[in-house]
Structures are given as C-alpha cells and as structure tokens.
Structure 1
Amino acid sequence: MARTAGSHSGTTGPRVRDAAMTLFARHGFAAVSMRQIASEVGVQVGALYNYTPDKQTLLYDLMRGHMDALLEAFTDDPIRRPEERLRSFVQFHIQFHHERPDAVFIAYMELRNLTPENFSRIEILRKTYEDRLEAILQAGVASGDFDVPDTKIATLAVIAMLTGVNTWFRAGGRLSLKDVEGQYWQMVRKAVLAQRRD
C-alpha cells in the first residue's frame, strides 16, 4: 500500500512524536489513542506503525529524548566554587524546563504509565541528573561552604522546587523569568549556605 503523501520517515517520524507529545500533555497518555495521533499527523492509523511499534514506545521515546537532551545540555565545571556551580544549576534547570513545558509535564506526570522495564531505564537517567546536583552539594559541604545534613534529600528538594516553576510561571506576568531565577537562587542559596562565624 502506498504511503500517505508527505509521510517520509525523515519528516513524519518527528511529526508523530510531536503530535504524541502535544496530545499526551493535553489529555493524558491513557486517554489518547493511536487513531487520534494519526489524525493529528494526517496519516492513516496503520501508517503510524512505520514509525513506532506502539503507544508505550512513543511515551518512552519522548521521556528518553527529554532526559537525553537534559543531560547533554547541562555542563558543570568542578573547578569553580560550589556556590557558583549551584547558581549555574539553578539557572540552567529553570531555563531548560521553561522552554519545554509539554516534555516536562509528561516526564513527571506519566511515569506511572511506563512499563516496569521502561520505568527503570528512565529512572537511571533521572538519577544521573540528580547525581550531578548532589555532587555540587557534596563539594560545597566538603569545602565548608554548604551546611546540608543530607545531600540526597536536599538534591530532591531543590529539583522539585525548581521544576515547580513550570506549574505557575507565565511569560508576560508580573515577574520575568530572570526575576524568578534570581529569587529562586536566593531561596536555594539560603537553604544550603553554611553560616559564617567571625
């Protein structure tokens, strides 16, 4: 059977993923059918299987793509002071996630819909990212700059707080994204900074 016009793998594959991301973010993974995704792309349902074996694989690929991009984009220089490294992390995390609201929503809200095997794979990537922040906190504790009783708990708390910006921030509001970054940095800084005794 002939392919639907325009359904070339180099263009339709990304369109399938984009449509799935939009629909999963808008309606939830469980409520979206392959037929809806096909309709959004403008192909027959059967044509989708040229690009993905099933809906579960689509969900995993979206989450994997998000985590791969996150890990690739974040850079850290261990030679810098821990406070400078932490500030860079805060700014990076807020900016990166602000630019990808649908991917962030899916990455956090649809974990429950992954198969156990796919969940384990995504968890490894999430832990890799968490470990990078924890390494910064551990360096700060070792240098005496940070006072953090449990760097693992602090890591999870900071990431949850920063990711939460996506739930309420809207461009054009009272605060700019830079304003928000600055205020969140001050909150994170105060939470981890060791008190200096002169």
Structure 2
Amino acid sequence: MARTQGSSSDVTGPRIRDAALQLFARHGYAAVSMRQIAAEVGVQVGALYNYTSDKQSLLFNLMETHLAELIDARGERPWPEGALARLEDFVRFHIRFHLERLDAVFIAYMELRNLTPENFAAVEALRRRYEDVLETILRDGVAEGVFDVPDPKIATLAVIAMLNGVNTWYRSGGRLSLDEVETIYLDMARRAVLARAPV
C-alpha cells in the first residue's frame, strides 16, 4: 500500500502513536476507532495501516514502549551503596519518570484488560522486570537488617501502588514542590518497610 503523499514514516509514525496515546487516555481504548486516530493525525484511515497492523498492535506498542523506556532509564542509573540509599533512589526516580508520562502510565495500568492474552503476558513480563528492581532492594534491606518485610513481593506492589498515586493528584505549581512530594513519599515508603527496634 502506498504511503499518503506528503507523509514520512519518521514523522507520521510518531504522530500516530502520540494521537493514539492521547485518545486512549482521554476516551478509553474501546471507545476510540482507527478513523478517529486518523482524523487526529490528518491522514486517511487506510494510511494508518502503513504503520500498524491494527488497533490492538497500536495499544500493545504504546505499553511495550513505555515499559521498555522505564526499564532502560532505571538501568542507566548508578546503583547506590546500601538498601536505604537504593530505596530513596528508586522512589525519586519512579515519581519523576512517571509524572512526565501521565497518559502512558494511565494506559499501562487501565487498559491491560483490553490486551490479547499473548500481549498481556508480554506486558506483564516487562512489568515484573521493573518490579524485580524494587523487590531486590527490599530483599537486600532485609539481609542488611534495615528492612522488615515478611513478603517482599507484596511490599513491592504496595510501595509501587502508593508511588503511582502521585500521578492522580500532583500538579506543578501547587502547594508542594516536587522535591517536597518526593521527600514525603520517601518517608512513607521507609516507614512501611523499616525494621523496628525491639521495645
């Protein structure tokens, strides 16, 4: 199929993904048609199929790309010494990375139910890779005697769920600065996992 005149794969492809991201986040995957995505980009609906095989592939690509970027960005950071320092680094990284990608985060969690079983398994595998970073930090902290978490997997999911809550309410220019929000959430995360001295 010929590409629409005036389009370019390195321009139109990202524009299609950006349009789909915004529309899925605003209206929900099920309510958005390929025709709406094409109208948002300004191309004929048939032209979309030069860049994606179908809407499901587009959704999967958005989720996979988001999680791959998350894992890569986390992996590029130096590994601080000690579990407490690593927990602080993880909390601050997680909050900042996700606040810059609100639509992608929303879709990554809210649209899982719309993935095919095969795509769901692939996305879940990527999510587990990221969760394993925090779980390792918590296990290391238990070994060091600074954390007390009977089930590191559950504690991992609980801490990440708490951190994701920032996305729902924080807005730049509000009562608290991002640094202040990070510090508050770090304190709550520490309190949730720190070993308590015997009374």
TM category (shorter chain) comes to: over 0.9
Q: 1:72 corresponds to which residue?
A: 72
Q: 1:30 corresponds to which residue?
A: 30
The residue type paired with residue 25 of structure 1 is A
Number of equivalenced pairs: 198
Q: 1:181 corresponds to which residue?
A: 182
What RMSD, in angstroms, separates the aligned Cα atoms of the two structures? Answer: 1.5
Q: 2:15 corresponds to which residue?
A: 15
How far does residue 14 in structure 1 lie from its aligned partner after superposition?
0.6
Partner Cα distance (1:105, 1:22) in 2: 10
Structure 1 unaligned regions, length at least 5: none
The residue type paired with residue 175 of structure 2 is R
Q: 1:65 to 1:176 in 2, by over 3 A?
A: same
Deviation string 1:7-44 (CA, Å, 9 cap, x unpaired) is 11111011100000010000000000000000001000
Which aligned pairs between 1:33-44 and structure 2 lie closer than 5 A?
33-44=33-44
Asked if structure 2 preserves the Cα contact closer than 8 Å seen for 1:77 and 1:85, the reply is no
Which aligned pairs between 1:101-120 and structure 2 lie closer than 5 A?
101-120=102-121
Structure 2 unaligned regions, length at least 5: none
Which aligned pairs between 1:134-149 and structure 2 lie closer than 5 A?
134-149=135-150
Partner Cα distance (1:152, 1:58) in 2: 31
Q: Quick check: 1:62 aligned with 2:62? A: yes
What secondary structure does 1:146 align onto? coil
Partner Cα distance (1:141, 1:113) in 2: 37
Asked if structure 2 preserves the Cα contact closer than 8 Å seen for 1:90 and 1:185, the reply is yes
Asked if structure 1 preserves the Cα contact closer than 8 Å seen for 2:67 and 2:127, the reply is yes
Partner Cα distance (2:80, 2:41) in 1: 47
Partner Cα distance (1:78, 1:4) in 2: 47
How far does residue 196 in structure 1 lie from its aligned partner after superposition?
3.4
Q: Quick check: 1:85 aligned with 2:91? A: no
Q: 1:151 corresponds to which residue?
A: 152
Asked if structure 2 preserves the Cα contact closer than 8 Å seen for 1:19 and 1:41, the reply is yes
User: Percent identity, aligned pairs only?
Assistant: 67
Partner Cα distance (1:94, 1:78) in 2: 17
How far does residue 77 in structure 1 lie from its aligned partner after superposition?
4.9
Q: 1:26 to 1:10 in 2, by over 3 A?
A: same
